[in-house]
């Protein structure tokens, strides 16, 4: 277990963006990508949004949300939201890094914060926000059994690839659809940690993952910002 975690820590720290993008003039949000070791393999904890939420009800996502004025940084936002949503106490998370941000449909700048949690963690979902919590082996996001992809043009005209995974949870006897920005972050996390080629196409140069992920993000941001300027 320690060896698996140590290897992941080392890889993740190479990709830590810190607060490099925190001054961009977009509203901010952050999500926690909680990693745990179970049965000798890395797993990722995910949640299902409550059906009573206005935005994206019933969709799979990571614990997280918009930053509040009292949050000192993205890490604090992600940890606060994870505690509110699934009862994960901040001191029970070993924060490793912040990865390349994404931009959601509402043009929020979303920063993924990666942290280790104990495999014994028992989630207590807040029913107003979360209907279910489940875990997926991280390698599913490079070697999926049920995967499809489609192209998507953002409102700013930027063409991007959307990953869509169907994960059959044997324990719960049900399937979960993981797609959009959540899948984007999960794929990138798996690419960083495993350093191997996935069984599907990705929008990265896998030999230069750091620079190509930054290049992709800057192009996406530029396409949104140009549109914002033209709306003024």
Condensed to tens digits (0 to 9), the pLDDT of residues 114-169 reads: 999 999 999 999 999 999 999 999 999 999 999 999 998 877 778 889 999 999 99
The residue whose two tokens read 């033209």 is 230
Residue 113, helix vs strand vs coil? strand
How confident is the model over 46-79, as pLDDT tens digits?
Answer: 999 998 888 888 999 999 999 999 999 999 999 9
Helix (H) or strand (E) holding 85: helix 74-86
- What pLDDT score was predicted for residue 229? 65
- What pLDDT score was predicted for residue 228? 66
The residue whose two tokens read 């992709």 is 216
Residues 6 or more apart in contact with residue 169 via CB below 8 angstroms: 134, 136, 175, 176
- What pLDDT score was predicted for residue 31? 98
Instruction: Please tell me which of 19-28, 152-161, 182-191 the model is most confident about, judged by mean pLDDT.
Output: 182-191
- Any bridge partners for residue 34, and if so which? 115
List, in order of start, the domains of the chain with CATH numbers: 1-231 (3.90.79.10)
Q: How many CB atoms lie within 10 A of CB 173?
A: 7
């Amino acid at each position: 277990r320690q060896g698996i975690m140590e290897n992941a820590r080392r890889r993740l720290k190479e990709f830590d963006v810190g607060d490099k993008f925190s001054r961009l003039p977009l509203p901010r949000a952050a999500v926690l990508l909680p990693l745990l070791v179970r049965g000798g393999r890395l797993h990722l904890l995910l949640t299902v949004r409550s059906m009573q939420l206005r935005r994206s009800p019933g969709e799979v996502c990571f614990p997280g949300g918009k930053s509040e004025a009292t949050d000192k940084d993205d890490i604090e936002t992600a940890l606060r939201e994870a505690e509110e949503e699934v009862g994960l106490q901040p001191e029970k998370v070993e924060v490793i890094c912040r990865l390349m941000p994404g931009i959601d449909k509402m043009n929020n700048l979303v920063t993924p914060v990666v942290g280790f949690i104990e495999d014994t963690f028992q989630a207590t979902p807040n029913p107003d926000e979360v209907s279910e919590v489940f875990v997926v082996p991280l390698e599913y996001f490079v070697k999926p059994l049920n995967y499809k992809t489609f192209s998507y043009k953002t409102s700013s005209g930027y063409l991007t690839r959307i990953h869509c995974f169907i994960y059959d949870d044997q324990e719960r006897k049900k399937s979960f659809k993981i797609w959009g920005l959540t899948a984007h972050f999960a794929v990138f996390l798996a690419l960083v940690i495993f350093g191997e080629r996935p069984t599907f196409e990705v929008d990265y140069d896998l030999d230069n993952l750091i620079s190509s992920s930054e290049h992709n993000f800057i192009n996406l941001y530029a396409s949104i910002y140009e549109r914002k300027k033209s709306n003024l």
